[in-house]
Amino acid sequence: MATLESKAVSAPGKVFLAGGYLVLDRKYTALVFGLDARIHVCIEPIQTRSGVTLSEIIVKSPQFLEARWEYGYRLTEADGGVAITPLRASHDLSLNKNPFIETTLTYALTYITSRSSNRQIAPSSISILASQAYYSNPGTSKTPDSPFLNFPVTLSGAHKTGLGSSAALVTSFTAALLTYYLPQDAFNIESDEGLRVLHNLSQAAHCAAQGKVGSGFDIASAVYGSCLYRRFSPSLLSALPSPGSAHFASKLRSLVEVADWDTEIHKSAVKMPAGLRLVMCDVDCGSETPGMVKKVLKWREQNQNEADRIWGKLQSGNEAVARELTRLPGVEGAANGAGADKYERLREIIKENRGLIRKMSVASKVPIEPPQQTALLDACSGISGVIGGVVPGAGGYDAVVLLLEDKEEVIAELKKLLAGWKVEASEEDGVQVGKVGILGVREDMVGVKRQDPALYRDWI
């Protein structure tokens, strides 16, 4: 067996600028931006003494307490793929389960063995590290120049900021395993075919780990970065048997390599003009996204004509945002006449889209853009240099995203506003918005990418 070398990759988080709820239906598209908050995965060989054979993979998330998982693995009969067994470090310890890691290992190792003539998997140690912006918990720096923080909590006790950590994890974890175990002529993360395989395999694993077929926009942005996205048909995954069932391995490989995925991912349809940037504001509150989605879909089912009218107008508005962002670099430095605001049209489109979202919010009785967030967005949009903003994704109370001029004085004014921000509880819902802070993230047009394993030396 060839000697395996340490490999590392990272994948970005995401934010919806337009297309929340619409993305669930193939008739519509979503404008999703990757973020420079990344999940990093480094994989390296486990050193064993001569003559000692291990069938073990150790996974660690060293930023958190008790975040270590050990797995045994074996090939199953009847082409059922690779079975993963969680191991206890000691009989006295409870089994520490992580469905996203277990499922991703199952799917990735099954695909790898289906591609390899030598079906042995060498033992490895895998470390996962996350950018600070994924969590609102206070952390401490391990070294002065480390881009990662130590969090004095367990992973289950960490407070997520909603940047798509599970999709970024599944994508980077899958990419690391494929890059490590397969030769470059079988998988290359920097080729179109490699990205297509990674996207399809990550979508299958992520849906299985969630227990449902999602829209897949978060995996698409983790693989490809910022893009205009149309979802795949859920039926694509319905014929795939469960891991361990007869022919799971060959059917998974066929799904990943051969199946005609009808997803549409347009990178060229999205640009961020020089001089503009995205800013995420984390609101100390929170929403139950799955519950909100169910209520909106039920409203749409019961009010098809009204919903279709709103969704049709929102789709036109979303496409207009993408077109305007793509058009603006061509008018760089030249406004439409003396003293004209070159971002005026973009402001208007965002404002019109927000009006439609509020209309859907009221009609469905779901707080997609609740009054507290309307007040916050209106105040932020009143700052000179802020083009506009939305409550991203499914909406609710927990975040807003702003599009603004990339100038220090604009950020300074925004920080000043947010430092004293307070909105009393609404009479309708009794929800009081807490502290609002700027997350240290911005847009990232690049998706999954290789990293230098030396970057993680202090943590491994």
199 has pLDDT over 60: yes
Q: What is the mean pLDDT of residues 334-357?
A: 80
Which two three-digit tokens encode residue 268?
A: 């060229």
243 burial class (0-12, 13-18, 19+ CB within 10 angstroms)?
A: buried
What pLDDT score was predicted for residue 89?
59
Q: How confident is the model at residue 335 (pLDDT cuts 50, 70, 90)?
A: very low
The answer to whether the CB of 165 falls within 8 A of the CB of 100 is no
What pLDDT score was predicted for residue 325?
93
Residue where the block lists tokens 């798509």: 164
Q: What is the mean pLDDT of residues 326-339?
A: 59
Which two three-digit tokens encode residue 282?
A: 């984390």
What pLDDT score was predicted for residue 339?
46
> 10 Å Cβ neighbour count for 383?
18
Q: What is the mean pLDDT of the chain?
A: 89
- Check the CA dihedral 223-103-180-83 and report its sign: negative
Does residue 253 or residue 290 have the better pLDDT?
253
- As a whole number of angstroms, the distance between CA 410 and CA 63 comes to 33
CATH of 276-438, one of 3.40.50.300, 3.40.605.10, 3.40.50.1240, 3.30.70.890: 3.30.70.890
In this predicted model, what pLDDT tens digit does every residue of 76-106 receive, in sequence order? 999 999 999 998 755 555 667 889 999 999 9
What pLDDT score was predicted for residue 336?
46
Q: Tell me if domain 7-267+445-456 and domain 276-438 are identical in fold.
A: no
Share of the chain above pLDDT 90, in %: 71
- As a whole number of angstroms, the distance between CA 243 and CA 252 comes to 9
- Tell me how far CA of residue 47 lies from CA of 5, 56, 57, 360, 457, in angstroms: 12, 12, 12, 57, 17
Task: State the architecture of 7-267+445-456 in CATH terms.
Answer: 2-Layer Sandwich (3.30)
228 has pLDDT over 90: yes
- Tell me how far CA of residue 106 lies from CA of 54, 58, 173, 352, in angstroms: 18, 14, 12, 45
Lowest mean pLDDT among 12-26, 236-250, 413-427: 413-427
Q: How confident is the model at residue 220 (pLDDT cuts 50, 70, 90)?
A: very high
Sequence spans of domains, the chain:
7-267+445-456, 276-438
236 has pLDDT over 70: yes
Q: How confident is the model at residue 426 (pLDDT cuts 50, 70, 90)?
A: low
428 has pLDDT over 90: no
What pLDDT score was predicted for residue 334?
45
- As a whole number of angstroms, the distance between CA 344 and CA 337 comes to 12
What pLDDT score was predicted for residue 429?
59
Q: How confident is the model at residue 337 (pLDDT cuts 50, 70, 90)?
A: very low
- As a whole number of angstroms, the distance between CA 380 and CA 405 comes to 13
